[in-house]
Structure 1
Amino acid sequence: MVEENHALFLLNTIHQAMVVDDLDFSIEHARLKEFAIKQADICKVVELNSAITLFEKYQLGKLAYTELETKNRLQDAKFWLRRIRRKTASLISQVERALGYVSKRRAVYCGDVSLNRHRQNQLLSQQYMQNTYLQNDEGFSIPLSEIAEHNISNPVIRRNELMVRIRGFEEVAQYCGHAAVFATLTTPSRMHATNATGIPNQTYDGSSINDAQDYLNHVWQLCRAKFDREEIKPYGFRVVEPHHDGTPHWHLLLFMPLEQIKHFKEVLTHYGLQDSPDEKGARQYRVKFIDIDPSKGSAAGYIAKYISKNIDGFAVGNDTSGQPSNLVAARINAWSKSANIRQFQQIGGPSVTVWRELRKLSSADEDVELNDAYSAADSSSWAAFCIAMNAIDTPRKEHAISPFYETKTAEHIDYQTGEITANYIFPNRYNEPRKPTIAGLKTEKTIVKTRTTKWHLLPQPPSRDIPRRPLGRLGVSSEGVSLDLCK
C-alpha cells in the first residue's frame, strides 16, 4: 500500500509539473502539433496584446521582437511548436532532477529520458542532413551531412579549434608577461536537487537548471561591470558543465597582469558569496581558485580535460562517476541541449568569426593587416592572430579586421506582370526583409568577400549524374595541436 501511494504521488507530481493551464507537455507530438495549430489560428483573429497574453500564459519564453515580428510569429504554428518542444525538454529535465532521478546514485548529469530524447533528435537530424542537398549556380551539389563533417559541428574539429585558441591565449600571456588563474564558480546549496552523496537535498528550493545558470550569469555580469570600471580586462575561456545532479557550475581559465590577480579574486569572491554567504561550505566550495605555475604545467592543460569531457570525452578515461568518458560526454551534451546552455564562451580576445572566415581564403591580398591575420589563421596560430588583430586589451572597435555583413539580393521576375526587380531582397517565411548575413571581412582600407558562391536547397536528392564538389578546408585540422594536453 505504501509503494502504491508513493507511485501515485510520483505520477501526480509529474502531471502537475508537465501541465501549464490547459497545455499538457507530456502528450504525444501529434497532439502538441494540433495544439500549436489551434493557438496560431486564434492569434490570427485576436488583437496583438491578446495574442501575447495567450502566449505568455503557457510560459514559453520571451518574445524579443518588434510588434510586427511578434505578430507574424504568433500566427505561425511552427513557431509555437518549436517553443513548446523547447519547454518540454526543459520540463522533463526539471522533473527528473526534482524526483531524484539525476544523481551519482541514479543517472549522472541528466536523466535517462532526456538522454534518449537527445539521441532521438540526433538521429533525426542526421537523417535530415543526409537527405538534404545544397546546389550552387555551377550545378555542384553536396549533402548537409558532408558539410557538417568539415566544420565545428564535427566534435573533433570543435575540440581542436578550442584547444588551439586556448593555447594561443596562453602564448599571448607569455608574450605579454601576464599570469593565469583557474576559477570555479558554483551556485548556493538551495539550487542543488541532491547533495554530494546523491540523496535528496532538504534545502532544495525547486530551482531549474536555467534558474541556476541565470544566477551564475548574473554574478558574472556584476563582476564584469566591476572589472570594466577598474580597467581589469581578463581574457580566456569559460566552460559550463553540470554537477552530478545537473546543477551547472562554471570553470574559468583567465589571463591578466599579475598585479590584477588578487583584486580579480576579491571581486569574484565578493559577488559569488552575496547569496547565502553563511551556509555550510559556502566559503570553501562556492568560489575556488588555482594559481597556475608555468613551471609545473601548461595553463591549457588545466582546462583541456573539461573541454574534452564536454564534447566527446577524448583521452579523458573514466569520469569521476566511474562511467566511460564517451557516455559522460553524451549525457552532458543532452543536458546542455535540454536546458539550451552555451557550454563554451570566449572572454576577451579577437573575433572567432574573423578567424574562421580568414581560413576560408586560399590567399590574402596586399592589405598588410589582412595578410598578417590571414597568415596567422592559416597556420593555426591564435597567438599571432591576436597580435595581428590588435586584440590584446583593446575593445572590438579597435581590432584590425571585423566581419562584413550584407543583405543578399537577386533579380526577381514577376511572372504575372513580367516586371524584373533588380537587387530584390527575398523575404523570410514571415514575409519580413531578411537580415544581413556574414559575407566577408572588412578592414579600414578594403572589403574582402569570403562567401562568393551562392547555394540553394534542392527539393529532392540530386541524380547521380550531377557533379559533386569536393570540399575545401572549412574547419580546423588537428595539425599543430598537442593532444597530450587532454591526457
Structure 2
Amino acid sequence: MSWNNLDWHDDGTQQTDAEWLADNCPPEFRRRQCNLELDGADYQRARLMAEMPAGTVELTELTEELRRWIGHDETTGRDLEDLAKRGADCAGRLLTWLDPEEAADMLREALPWLRLPQPSCRGITAEGLGMRMVESTTWRRYLRREHEQRREVAAMVRGEVMAGRDAYCSQRAYRDHTARQRSSRRAIEDAEIVSEDGEILDLAAAVDASVSNSHNRLAELAVRGKGMELIAEAHGHSAAFVTVTAPGAFHASHRVAHKRSRGRQAYTQEINPAWIAAGRPSPAVASSYLCGVFADVRTVAKNAGLHVYGIRTAEPHADGCPHWHMLIFGDRATLKQYLALFEQYACLVDAHELEGTVRVKRLVERRQADGTYRAVERWQTAPRRELRFFAKWLRPAKLDADGKRRGGPLAYLLKYLTKNLHGENDQGRAFGDDHEAGGDTATAASRVRAWASLWHIRQFQQFGDAPVGVWRELRRLRGKAIDDDGLALAVEAACANDWAGYHHLHQAAQLVLFKEPAEQPNRYGEPQADRVVGVFSWSTEAKALTRTKVWKINWRAKSRRSGAAATERAARPRICTNNCADHPPEQSPETASPSSTAGFGDARSAPSRRSAYLNPDFSDDAGPPPWADPAESRRYA
C-alpha cells in the first residue's frame, strides 16, 4: 500500500508506510505491538505486521478466536455476541486506513463464510458496505449461521444424523429451530400493523392468512399443480416424475450389508468414507451442486428449444443430504430429449460408482379388478444409474362416475408436498408413519422444515410456467371494480383458483408486476428496491393498484398497552413502608417503652439498614421519609 502524502527523512529518503503510520496514526487507531524477539522468523513476521494496515493483528487474533469457538457445543449465545462485537471493532480498525472494498476483500480472504455483498450489486454502495461491516448485527447473523452449520456437521461426523438415529437433522438443531419458531410466534402475536391513516390490524391474523401458513402454502401448490395438469391435458402433453440425487461423496452415511438373516439381507448405517475423503461437504454444498446441474440443463435445453414446465421439491435423506423430486410436463418427444439430457448431466460426476446393478425398493402399479391401478412396494433389480437419476412416466387422471378426478400426476406429487410441509390430514392429524424418520409424518415434516431452515434450502420451486407473483397480486383485487376486461378476467380466474385459465390470460394480456420507486432510502443511505403496487397489462397498457396503503409493524404493541393499563389500575400507596413494624397506636413515642421504640429513636444519627432498600420515587420529599422523624411519626400513629 502506498500513500501520496508520505514524509521524507533528513537524508532525502522517503519514509516507508510503516514509519509514516507510526508517526501519524492516532493512539486510538494504532495497532498493538507484538512482543516478539526480533530475530529469525519473528523478525520477518514483525516486519510484515509493521507494513500492514491497522487492524491486521486484531483480524489475525479474531480468526484464531473464531476457530476456537465457532461450531463447538459449549459456545453460548453470549459468546457469539462478544465475537460479533470484536468483529465489528476489527472492521472499524481496517476501515481507518483502507476503503470499504479493500477491507471487505481482506475480511473475505480471512473469513470465507462472511457473506459481505459486493458494491454496485442491487444498489449497494461502498459507504453502505462499510456501514454493514461495522455493525455487530451483521456479524452476529453470519456468526450464528456458521456456528449452527458447523455444529451440525460435527454431529454428522459423530454419526448422530442418519437412519436409526436422528433423521434429517440433529436433535439439538431441531430443538433450537422449534424454540426460535415459538419465540417468533410470540413476537408476532404481540405485534400489530398500522397503516398511514391509523387502521390497525393483528399481525398474527395477517401471517396466518398468507402462504407463510403451511396449509395455505400446500393449497396454493396443489392449485398450481392441478392447473399444470389441466394445461398438459389440453395440449396433449405427457408427464414424468423424476428423482435426482447427489453423488455418493455428498452423503454422510451409507448402508452396509453385514449379515444374512433367514435368507434376507441385513443392513446397518455407517459413516461414509467417501464423504470424509471429500472434505465432509454439508447439505448446503450438495444443494448447490443440484442447483448447478439443473441450471446447466436449463441452459442447454433453452438453446436447443426444449420447453418443459413443472414443479420440483427438495427433501432430505435421513443423513441430511438433499435430493429432488420433480413433476415435469411437456410434449412427449421433447420430454424424452429433456430427460436424456438431464440424466447425462446428473451422472457426469463420479460416473464410476454407477456401474452394475443394485436391488432397490420401488412403487409398482398393479391393475385391480375394477380397472384402476394401485401402487405397491416391490424389490427390483435396477441399474445403479437409477440411484442417481430415475424417471417414470405417469398416467393421466381419470374421471369416475361422479365426475371426480382419480389419480394423475397431481395425486402422485401431493404426497411429497404434504410430507414436507405439515404431514397432517384435514382433521389436523398425522396421516401415517415416516419409517425413515422413525415417527409420524407430522413430526417428520417439522424436522424437514428445521433442516431446510438450517441449511437455507429452498423446498419448492416452479419452472417454465406463469409467475406466481402476478397471481398473488390478482387475488388481492377480489371484489374491486376493474375497467380493463383482460385484467378483470385474470382476477376472476385467480380468485376462482383456476391456474390454467390464469396461464392463458397471462400470456394473452402480457401481465407483469407494476412497481414504483421507493421514496425513502434504507438505513445505509442506499436506494431501496422498487415497491410492488399492482399489476400492469402490456397489451392494453392498463394497470390495477393492489397496494394503496403503507403499513408499519408496531412490535410489542399489545404488551405495552396491557402494561399501561395495569399501571393505571395499580393504586399508589399512602406511605413508602408497610405498617407491620409500626408501634401500637395507643402509645406515643415519648411514653413508649425502649423495647417498643427500638430502631426509631436513633434513626437520624444512625440510618438503619432498611432505609437503603427504600424506593425514593414513592416520596415527593427530597429529605428522609416522614417516619424517620419521631415528631412526625405522630401523624401516622
What is the TM-score when the length of structure 2 is the normalising length? 0.64
In structure 1, the residue matched to 2:270 is 199
Where do residues 379-390 of structure 1 align in structure 2 (5 Å cutoff)?
379-390=496-507
Q: Is 2:71–2:151's contact at 8 Å kept on the other side of the alignment?
A: no
Report 1 or 2 for greater relative contact order, CA contacts < 8 Å, sequence distance ≥ 6: 1
Where do residues 238-249 of structure 1 align in structure 2 (5 Å cutoff)?
238-249=312-323
Q: 1:234 aligns with which of 308, 316, 340?
A: 308
How far did residue 44 of structure 1 move?
Answer: 2.4
How far did residue 429 of structure 1 move?
Answer: 2.2
In structure 2, the residue matched to 1:357 is 473
In structure 1, the residue matched to 2:510 is 400
Q: Residues of 2 paired with 1:56 and 1:364: CA distance?
A: 57
Report the residue type matching 1:290 in the other structure.
Answer: K
How far did residue 140 of structure 1 move?
Answer: 2.4
Report the residue type matching 2:495 in the other structure.
Answer: D
How far did residue 331 of structure 1 move?
Answer: 0.6
How far did residue 163 of structure 1 move?
Answer: 0.6
Q: Residues of 2 paired with 1:123 and 1:356: CA distance?
A: 28
Q: 2:211 aligns with which of 143, 152, 156?
A: 152
Indicate the percent of aligned positions where both proteins have the same amino acid: 29
Worse overlay, 46-55 or 353-362: 46-55
Where do residues 305-384 of structure 1 align in structure 2 (5 Å cutoff)?
305-315=415-425, 316-321=431-436, 322-361=438-477, 362-384=479-501
Q: 1:53 aligns with which of 106, 116, 137?
A: 106
Report the residue type matching 2:449 in the other structure.
Answer: N
In structure 2, the residue matched to 1:257 is 331
How far did residue 141 of structure 1 move?
Answer: 1.6
In angstroms, what is the RMSD of aligned CA positions? 2.0
How far did residue 216 of structure 1 move?
Answer: 0.7
Worse overlay, 112-121 or 273-282: 273-282
Q: Residues of 1 paired with 2:527 and 2:218: CA distance?
A: 36
How far did residue 432 of structure 1 move?
Answer: 2.1
| 3-state SS, counterpart of residue 252 of structure 2 | coil
Q: Residues of 1 paired with 2:203 and 2:249: CA distance?
A: 44
Report the residue type matching 2:513 in the other structure.
Answer: P
How far did residue 52 of structure 1 move?
Answer: 3.6
How far did residue 22 of structure 1 move?
Answer: 5.3
Q: Does 1:24 align with 2:70?
A: yes
Worse overlay, 91-100 or 206-215: 91-100
Worse overlay, 53-62 or 150-159: 53-62
Q: Is 1:103–1:194's contact at 8 Å kept on the other side of the alignment?
A: yes
| 3-state SS, counterpart of residue 169 of structure 2 | coil
How far did residue 85 of structure 1 move?
Answer: 1.4
Q: Is 1:89–1:339's contact at 8 Å kept on the other side of the alignment?
A: no
Q: Does 1:36 align with 2:84?
A: yes
Q: Is 1:236–1:254's contact at 8 Å kept on the other side of the alignment?
A: yes
Larger Rg: 2
| 3-state SS, counterpart of residue 241 of structure 1 | strand
Where do residues 72-111 of structure 1 align in structure 2 (5 Å cutoff)?
72-111=131-170
- For residues 279 and 460 of structure 1, do their structure 2 counterparts lie closer, same or farther at Cα, with a shift above 3 Å needed? closer
Report the residue type matching 1:313 in the other structure.
Answer: G
Report the residue type matching 1:287 in the other structure.
Answer: F
Q: Residues of 1 paired with 2:112 and 2:172: CA distance?
A: 22
Report the residue type matching 2:86 in the other structure.
Answer: K
- For residues 113 and 277 of structure 1, do their structure 2 counterparts lie closer, same or farther at Cα, with a shift above 3 Å needed? same
In structure 2, the residue matched to 1:428 is 522
Structure 2 residues without counterparts, runs of 5 or longer: 1-63, 120-125, 256-267, 359-383, 399-406, 426-430, 563-637
Q: Residues of 1 paired with 2:314 and 2:65: CA distance?
A: 29
Q: Is 1:180–1:299's contact at 8 Å kept on the other side of the alignment?
A: yes
Q: 1:113 aligns with which of 158, 172, 181?
A: 172
Q: Residues of 1 paired with 2:554 and 2:340: CA distance?
A: 57
Report the residue type matching 2:542 in the other structure.
Answer: T
Q: Residues of 1 paired with 2:112 and 2:194: CA distance?
A: 40
Structure 1 residues without counterparts, runs of 5 or longer: 1-17, 392-398, 410-424, 465-487
Q: Is 2:490–2:506's contact at 8 Å kept on the other side of the alignment?
A: yes
Worse overlay, 63-72 or 211-220: 63-72
How far did residue 460 of structure 1 move?
Answer: 4.4
Q: Is 1:364–1:370's contact at 8 Å kept on the other side of the alignment?
A: no
How far did residue 25 of structure 1 move?
Answer: 4.2
In structure 1, the residue matched to 2:386 is 284
Q: Is 1:20–1:58's contact at 8 Å kept on the other side of the alignment?
A: no
Report the residue type matching 2:554 in the other structure.
Answer: L
What is the TM-score when the length of structure 1 is the normalising length? 0.83
Report the residue type matching 1:199 in the other structure.
Answer: E
Q: Is 2:115–2:142's contact at 8 Å kept on the other side of the alignment?
A: no
Q: Is 2:245–2:388's contact at 8 Å kept on the other side of the alignment?
A: yes
Q: Is 1:134–1:458's contact at 8 Å kept on the other side of the alignment?
A: yes
How far did residue 144 of structure 1 move?
Answer: 2.1
Q: 2:118 aligns with which of 39, 62, 65?
A: 65
